[in-house]
A and B are shown apart, each in its own frame.
Chain A
Amino acid sequence: MPILVFTNLLKSVAHRFAILLYLVFALFPLYWLLKIAVTPDKLLYSEGVKLWPSDFTWLNFELVFTQSEFPTFFINSAIVSSATAVITTVIAAAAGYAFCRFKFRGKLIISGLLLITQMFPLVMVLAPIYKIMAPLGLTNSLLGLVIIYTAFNVPFAVFLMQSFFDSIPRDLEESAMVEGCTRFTALYKVIVPLTLPGLAATLGFVFTAAWSEMLFALMLISDSSVSTFPVGLLNFVSKFAVQWGQMMAAGVLALIPACIFFVFIQRYLVQGLTAGAVKG
């Protein structure tokens, strides 16, 4: 018995230690980002490699808010990401529902198509999209970004929503339809309230993806009044190569929405994928 207790104890300790390593690995870069953001400029290079700065300052954050264009970038990113998240989720919910509940011709082909779109090198469509968007006046516009981001996020969002719908029994819609609902009303009154976690997860996932997107934003947007975060930050790098503190402060601010969203929805992602995994 004592040996069993000892090995179990050893296993627990090893387990905790391993988790600690992962945690440190995951959080260290974020800590570093924060550290640079709060280090006063004059100490930046001399204390560059210290783990803990000797002096704190919120000055960088202040400057970012008041003296740079970051508030604009933040707002633009927020608009684009929220709009994309909402539109994508609605479209994906409808398509995911169709895949889940209906048998129809071409089902296999269409789902194959969705899979293939994941494969296209993004870079391959950069050029054509630029050439198509330019005459339509959609370059340098938030609307253009929303359209593109929606299209690219739909396939995976459909996969997610389909998983979530799979876990809801068919009887519920059928019962509602017998009781007087059309299929659409049944969907809206009965099914959707039950998939709220799924909707939240999809919203969060798409929001995070749109928030980080860089290539298309870089390619299509050159006017800083409509820049999103990635574009703004990178332009910052080239224009003001020495203001690291401010840049990192901006980075920390950029981080917050994405991280908050993601922290809340990751649980639903695991839940939803588990349900889908059971169905195979």
Chain B
Amino acid sequence: MINLRGINKKYKNTYALRNVNLDIQKGEFVFLVGSSGAGKSTLMKLLYREELPTSGNVYVSGVDVSKLPDNKVPYLRRNMGIIFQDYKLLEKQTIYDNVAFVIRALGVSSREVDNRVKSALKIVNLSHKLKSKPKELSGGEQQRVGIARAIVNGPSLLIADEPTGNLDPQTSLEIMEILDKINSRGITVLVSTHDHAMVNHFRKRVITLEGGHVIKDVQAGTYG
């Protein structure tokens, strides 16, 4: 699913990633851990082509993302779901519209939009909040909307950048359980975090980054 080959990423005089080689198989659940500045976010941005590597190749489903022309980047992103630490919800729109507006832009029919949005919101247990606005929801609920929006287009890969960074431990656990549930449907899930307890609780594959290097890659691993 994901193959990184000799990835280096340099910002001015600082290396964010150094000679990273990585393989993630389809259907895996992977925690990407490390302290702030370790290179987690940079690595994720390379996957959805928000950043380009200074050298090396990034393959997603066999396609070299680093060589993808700009006009084809949207097609790459349509096959991924991206979850952000700050949720990135539209304040003035309802929960339903927040989840629906991207697939509407992709030309999905109204009936299909309705089916998919309701089904995505059901997975994150928010079927009863269709007409609410983001401000009326708790942080955990807002993140669940973010997850629903990420999965509504049926992605094969889910990228979550610090999805529990702003949440309390109990809510974080709920979010991880939802991601785990999504993973059990065959979707590859890559989660960056520095939440030790969460990583240790789920016992998934753990890739540890430090100073831009992969220093540890353990199946059913722990952190800290």
**A and B are partners in one complex rather than unrelated chains:** no
